[in-house]
Structure 1
Amino acid sequence: MLVRAESCLDALKGASDAVTVHRHDGSTAQLVDILAQARPDTVFHLAAAFVAEHVPGDIDRLVHANLLFATQLLEAMRVNGVRLLVNTGTAWQHYGNRDYDPVNLYAATKQAFEAILAYYVNAHGFIAATLALFDTYGPGDERPKLMRALWRAAREGRPLAMSSGRQLLDLVYVDDVVDAYLAAESALREGGAGHRHYGVSSGAPLPLARRRRRGLRTSRRRVARRALGRTRRPRARGAGSVDGIRGAAGMARASRISGGNKAQ
């Protein structure tokens, strides 16, 4: 596992014996050395900096994590003869179900990296797949996401500020996401050089209002909704669909959303 020098690994407690951690100092040379030591068959690129609505102070972090580090990783792979890459994209690169129309700057940096990846595919024979993720959830998720907020509000018996609930959400359980990454790697091993795109979707996006009710079934509690008067972002994304890439994948269809909402 490759992590930033400052990364906190508390979430990996209990699994430390099964994971070899390499801390990256930010340099390309050290990353080349790390891959030479680890000698991976496949690289799963999950690192990213996410900001829904950026401010000027976010630019350096977005570019460093999503472009500079990612390009350093490709170069380290090239030097060490590693050619298989499973990359992480986002459905936010496909506003309005278009081939490319970024919802925000984060999505634009993810697409910019794919342009760089195209060079390594075409010039150096990389075999790559990018998985466009919709919203994900699961036990132990510390991100400020909807499912965690619902479960916490239910436990604490307090109201939760939410929108009207008309927008669509496409939530995919973490185990299905892992299965999709493993399936993508298997597909790469059977194919030649190129860059494939897959969407990781539940296949059944639901309005937020229904997701709210379904997410609370296992808690047997009700959460009072306090409507938000907040202005909707100019390019706010509901779940939507990414037909072209999701149809090609056939992955992560058996979502556990109906019966697998587990309290955290």
Structure 2
Amino acid sequence: MKAKNVNLKNKTILVTGAAGFIGSNLVLELLRTTEPVHIVGIDNMNDYYDVSIKEYRLQQIENEVQKHTDSSWNFVKGSIANKALIDQLFADYKPTVVVNLAAQAGVRYSISNPDVYIESNLIGFYNILEACRHSYDNDAVGVEHLVYASSSSVYGSNKKIPYSTDDKVDNPVSLYAATKKSNELMAHAYSKLYNIPSTGLRFFTVYGPAGRPDMAYFGFTNKLRAGDTIQIFNYGNCKRDFTFVDDIVEGVKRVMQAAPEKKNGEDGLPIPPYAVYNIGNNQPENLLDFVDILQQELIRAEVLPADYDFEAHKKLVPMQPGDVPVTYADTTALEEDFGFNPATSLREGLRKFAEWYKVFYQV
């Protein structure tokens, strides 16, 4: 087990992508469990998907912060690609811990809209790294830990499973994956050059209530409700390591509190205080089984009628460009270093999603 060396209580934590799926859930968890805590959130609130879901998440945070009078929450609408804004945020709030979750997500979208990936995932992350570097200017304490989102997409078409962080990952099959691998390389360089403790987290297919509508489980639900046909790629022979959002957040929170240690090598120069972990369910599910559980839970939650004809609304189709047939996380390192392994079953997670969906869309 890694020793906790970052105390989150009474610290200022910057969460980028704070109106996003993982970001908003992390803010809620920190407010509930780490009082007092001072959280600064930034999000550009773009319309890649329904902005009303992002507004709903921010409202949930506003509701929660009212219950914790010793804690504070400041939200800034803006892009991490705006260097002046990021520098000003660091100057004003002097965050102790930075959790960079802001990124343009989605494998398929990166094929048709590459510009936004370069802007947010590369230029934006560079701005965060530079701000962390300069947080130490004039012998200031500066950022104690930078935690950032990577992705299982970096494994590309690796044949060896489960995916281990020791595997070679230099064959990305999408621009999105390439930007995420670039983040890991950039963080390594900054950790080496400026002794910034950084940890990258490779997330595996995150799902849950108030999630991203571009994800399969959410998109399928919308289409089934509209009476449209859902397409199941690779003829249903895909496997995904679906990870419930609460498990992801618990993993992130534990990692935040244990930064890689700063130490020098024999040459007197810093050994990069750098680490990368997988966070996944360590239990890949077949896409057809996943769809079967989803339909059962949608009927149970009365999102769909009991006599819904699923067979008439399902179509098996070939693999999509940029997709991979299997994602499967080796989470041994996460378990050894943090005593944590995601454990929410797919049925339990999809049940919570279906129940949320019914309320949010007033089905």
- TM-score, normalised on structure 2? 0.64
Residue 111 of structure 1 pairs with residue 181 of structure 2: yes
Residue 3 of structure 1 pairs with residue 43 of structure 2: yes
**1:24 equivalent in structure 2:** 78
SS of 1:16's partner is helix
Deviating more after overlay: 65-74 vs 139-148: 139-148
The alpha-carbon deviation at position 151 of structure 1 amounts to: 3.5
Report matched runs for 1:103-252 at 5 Å.
Answer: 103-153=173-223, 155=225, 159-163=229-233, 164-188=235-259, 191-192=261-262, 194-218=273-297, 219-220=299-300, 221=306, 223-224=310-311, 225-229=313-317, 231-233=318-320, 235-243=322-330, 246-250=331-335, 251-252=340-341
Deviating more after overlay: 103-112 vs 191-200: 191-200
SS of 2:290's partner is helix
* Separation in structure 1 between the aligned mates of residue 194 and residue 280 of structure 2, nearest angstrom: 31
Say if 2:148 and 2:200, in contact at 8 Å, map to a contact too.
Answer: yes
The alpha-carbon deviation at position 196 of structure 1 amounts to: 1.0
Aligned letter for 1:67?
Answer: L
* Separation in structure 2 between the aligned mates of residue 55 and residue 159 of structure 1, nearest angstrom: 24
Q: 1:174 to 1:57 in 2, by over 3 A?
A: closer
* Separation in structure 2 between the aligned mates of residue 72 and residue 51 of structure 1, nearest angstrom: 22
* Separation in structure 2 between the aligned mates of residue 257 and residue 52 of structure 1, nearest angstrom: 22
Residue 253 of structure 1 pairs with residue 342 of structure 2: yes
* Separation in structure 2 between the aligned mates of residue 55 and residue 259 of structure 1, nearest angstrom: 31
Say if 2:110 and 2:175, in contact at 8 Å, map to a contact too.
Answer: no
Q: 1:205 to 1:49 in 2, by over 3 A?
A: same
Q: Which runs of 5+ in 2 are unaligned?
A: 1-40, 66-72, 136-141, 263-271, 301-305, 358-363
The alpha-carbon deviation at position 226 of structure 1 amounts to: 2.6
1:85 to 126, 146, 153: 146
* Separation in structure 2 between the aligned mates of residue 259 and residue 51 of structure 1, nearest angstrom: 25
Say if 1:40 and 1:82, in contact at 8 Å, map to a contact too.
Answer: yes
Deviation string, structure 1 residues 142-186 (Cα, Å, up to 9, x no partner): 422222234345555654332321210111111111101101112
Q: 1:166 to 1:44 in 2, by over 3 A?
A: same
The alpha-carbon deviation at position 233 of structure 1 amounts to: 3.3
Q: Which runs of 5+ in 1 are unaligned?
A: none
**2:93 equivalent in structure 1:** 38
Deviation string, structure 1 residues 91-146 (Cα, Å, up to 9, x no partner): 11012144203121111011112222122101111111111011111111242222
* Separation in structure 2 between the aligned mates of residue 46 and residue 33 of structure 1, nearest angstrom: 19
Q: State the percentage of identical aligned residues.
A: 21
The alpha-carbon deviation at position 68 of structure 1 amounts to: 0.5
Say if 2:213 and 2:219, in contact at 8 Å, map to a contact too.
Answer: no
Q: 1:6 to 1:259 in 2, by over 3 A?
A: closer
- TM-score, normalised on structure 1? 0.86
* Separation in structure 1 between the aligned mates of residue 186 and residue 128 of structure 2, nearest angstrom: 11
CA root-mean-square deviation: 2.6
Say if 1:131 and 1:197, in contact at 8 Å, map to a contact too.
Answer: yes
Q: 1:238 to 1:134 in 2, by over 3 A?
A: farther
* Separation in structure 1 between the aligned mates of residue 288 and residue 96 of structure 2, nearest angstrom: 44
Task: Work out the number of aligned pairs and report it.
Answer: 260
The alpha-carbon deviation at position 234 of structure 1 amounts to: 5.0
